[in-house]
Amino acid sequence: MTQTSPVGRPLRPRGKLLQEDTRRHHRSLLLQQLFREGPASRADLARTTGLTRVTVSDLVGELVSGGLVEELGAPAQSRVGKPPTLVGLNADSTHVVGIDLSATDRMTGAVVNLAGTVRARHELPLDGAVGAAAVALVHRLATELIAMTDRPVLGVGVGSPGVVDAAGTVIDAPNLAWTDTPLAASLADALGLPVFVANDANTAVLGEHTFGASGDGGLMVLRVGTGVGAGLILEGSLLHGHLGAAGEIGHVVVDPSGDRCACGRSGCLETILAVPHLRRRLAGHDPVEVLTRVGEQLGAALAPVVGTLNLHELVLSGPQELLDGPLREAADRSIRERTMPVSSAGLVVRTSELGEDVVLVGAAVLVLAGQLGVS
């Protein structure tokens, strides 16, 4: 049973939605409220969601029976009269499998609970697997992860390099030699579970938005690894772009007189910032000087983006020892020097508290969003 990825757009007109999916929509409203704001009484839920108390009681009853939601008793400090019973998400009632395919030497995975906490980890070495062999390795990793939890598994999420369409087909991922590879469909068939696949940078920004220490303004997660790519959440929604290629900034030319790039051009952002290039540049040089210069170049490239989007948060995701120090500080300073205060006053440039887990946790968010309507 293939599921449409939550990164796809709704296909049905709104009126149809009202007729068919009202109950499902109301259920998501309740779950989203409990997910975002924590335990609440039924009366509070009715107030904050705008649903009637009868509808709330009915749906909460169903969710408690199903195990997703649990009765928590009365709060310690209650008002006059009979204290209301609180209900909350039962974070370990069901688990989610998240898989990160962005590393070049291995595939990593985790069992994640509904609160975004990693409960178990597992990884398999890639050993140069490409094509069908790489697909088989994802199948094996998913199967082994599912066996690592005794809870029901809500679904499997995968963050993949390359361009991924809304149905979870990997259109093009050169490192894995995948072209039009229906990864979500094949996994769903094999596992009998809902499967969601999205681009790794988009997956990372969903993880950071939902479980990182992120605010509600515009968020850009810049992934720095073998390549460089970004995921963006603007006005609360993942940005796809015209042809699904939003965030593809690794091969934007930032220094036409710079190093030759594998893509054929010179001075692409990757030739400056990607980890292999960065490490080569650091060898035998003053690291502070090198990282500061790279940060300045990154800041110059991102200043027009920050000015255009009035971003709230720019998160650098990758090796902390390279990114979190002179590089981040120089990028931050350079962006502020090159934009108006109105654009950069509210900007935070930081690394992710989720560290290297951001794609794994984001892959879990794909499932939570797709299956429960929460994120």
Given the rule CB under 8 A, which residues bind a second copy? 9, 12-19, 22, 25-26, 29, 48-52, 163, 217-218, 220, 230, 232, 234-235, 237, 239-254, 256, 263, 265, 301-305, 307-312, 337-340, 342-343, 345-347
- Closest approach, Cβ 250 to a second copy, in A, equals 8
Residue 258 contacts residue 271 (beta carbons within 8 Å): yes
Q: Which two tokens stand for residue 170?
A: 């990997």
- Closest approach, Cβ 193 to a second copy, in A, equals 29
* Nearest Cα to Cα of residue 233 among 211, 255, 251, 252: 211
- Closest approach, Cβ 333 to a second copy, in A, equals 13
Residue 284 contacts residue 252 (beta carbons within 8 Å): no
Long-range contacts of 174-178 (CB under 8 A, 24+ apart): 175/104, 175/130, 175/226, 176/101, 176/130, 176/131, 176/134, 177/130, 177/131, 177/134, 178/130, 178/131, 178/134, 178/135
Q: Which CB, 232 or 359, lies closer to a second copy?
A: 232
Q: Return the CA Rg of the chain.
A: 22
Q: Which CB, 32 or 320, lies closer to a second copy?
A: 32
Q: Which CB, 115 or 340, lies closer to a second copy?
A: 340
- Closest approach, Cβ 118 to a second copy, in A, equals 30
- Closest approach, Cβ 248 to a second copy, in A, equals 5
For 295, the 3-state DSSP assignment is helix
Q: Which CB, 76 or 243, lies closer to a second copy?
A: 243
- Closest approach, Cβ 282 to a second copy, in A, equals 24
Q: Which CB, 84 or 244, lies closer to a second copy?
A: 244
Cα–Cα distance, 147 to 144 (Å, whole number): 5
- Closest approach, Cβ 288 to a second copy, in A, equals 22
Q: Which CB, 168 or 231, lies closer to a second copy?
A: 231
Q: Which CB, 207 or 227, lies closer to a second copy?
A: 227
- Contacts (Cβ under 8 Å, ≥6 apart) of 196: 3, 5, 6, 155, 156, 157, 158, 168, 184, 363, 366, 367, 370
Residue 142 contacts residue 345 (beta carbons within 8 Å): no
Cα–Cα distance, 374 to 365 (Å, whole number): 8
Residue type, 245: A
